[in-house]
Amino acid sequence: MNVARARPAPPAVAQLTRAFEVFTAATSTLEGAYRALQERVAVMTIELEEKNRLLQESLERQRCLEAEALRHSRLAAMGEMAATLAHEVRNPLGSMELFASLLIDDLGDRPGPRRLVSQIAEGIKDLNHLVTNILGFTRAPVPRASRVDVVAAVEDALRYGAPLLAESGVAIVRRYESPRIMAKADPSFVRQVFLNLIRNAAQAMESGGALTIGAQSGEHVAVSFVDTGPGIPSEARQRIFEPFFTTKERGTGLGLAVVRTLVETLGGEVTERARAGEGACFTVILPAADEPAHATRGGEERLGDALSGTPA
């Protein structure tokens, strides 16, 4: 029986087959290389986008720094001018306050003119307070630390601010933990801080309200001022301690800026908890000073007056 033998492929067909196999292999290699190139391009695109983002952030920071430097330069120039003016204004203000007080004494039997001169004297006090705030903001404060009774300092500030509190119809509620609470601070700094916060609260309650002042001690001394005013708008909360920023029609924007500067100079901090429509709460935290366990009789009497609601 004869078996048919397969004929070998013609040489041209064999060469074409080999060429097709080579082409297929090359195509597969190119496809792999193309996929790798796409992946690399994707990675480089992400890296480029990240570098562009970082560059934009760097440029934005640079613009912010330049704007901040310009603002500081302007504030420095304004501060120098304000300090010069404040010093020039303070001298005649002192004379005017002295003459007004003498005139009030001379008008003891004439209530009408005496009332008018008293209003002039209060206006002079307001101007003097403004000058003090300007000087406190423009100059570098140098504290003279000593033992300070913050309760007595609050009472002093309340006496000074009594006319404004009475005019606004603001009632004072005292919440002192002890008749004497001692802090390590500068007495003049503490008095100015408390007065600024009291005036700030009174101006926020032009139609009347209550200002609750609390004081307590522990590792630190904390003095809080809580008013029943309209509070601080949420959009303004981040800026209330900035100099020259104010939400009041006639405010200078220096009161809270001075408060923060003086408190931080004393090694303390001032915090705020304020919401629009819910009043405002400012708390001054100061280093505590060592205090003997016993309190003086005078301190006990003052605390009794405070808790009984004796007005400022």
Residues near 205 by Cβ (< 8 Å), separated by ≥ 6? 168, 169, 170, 211, 227, 228, 229
The residue behind tokens 């193309």 is 34
Q: How far apart are CA 194 and CA 14, in angstroms?
A: 103
Nearest CA to 189 out of 136, 246, 111 is that of: 136
12: which 2 tokens? Answer: 């041209």
Q: CA triplet 44, 49, 52: central angle to 5 degrees?
A: 125
pLDDT of residue 67 exceeding 60, the answer is yes
Name, in order, each residue with C-beta under 8 angstroms of 203's C-beta and a sequence gap of 6 or more: 164, 168, 248, 251
Residue 247 has which token pair?
A: 């939400």
pLDDT band at 307 (very low <50, low <70, confident <90, very high): very low
Task: Give dist(CA 244, CA 133) in Å, integer.
Answer: 11
Retrieve residue 197's tokens: 């916060």
| Cβ–Cβ under 8 Å, residues 198 and 157 | yes
* pLDDT of 104 over the 70 cut: yes
Average pLDDT over residues 122-138: 72
Architecture in CATH for domain 146-307: 2-Layer Sandwich (3.30)
b/e map of 175-188 (b: 16 or more CB within 10 Å)? ebeebbbbbbbbbb
Q: State how far the Cα of 308 lies from the Cα of 292, in Å rounded to an integer.
A: 25
Alpha-carbon Rg for the chain, nearest whole angstrom, is 37
Lowest-pLDDT range of 135-144, 168-177, 283-292? 135-144
Q: What is the pLDDT of residue 294?
A: 43
Domain residue spans in the chain? 13-139, 146-307
pLDDT at 75: 67
Helices 255-265, 187-204: crossing angle, 10 deg rounding: 150
| pLDDT computed for residue 311 by the predictor | 39
Q: What is the mean pLDDT of the chain?
A: 79
pLDDT bracket for residue 173 (50, 70, 90): very high
Q: For 140-155, what is the mean pLDDT? A: 86
| Angle at alpha carbon of residue 285, lines to 281 and 290, rounded to 5° | 140
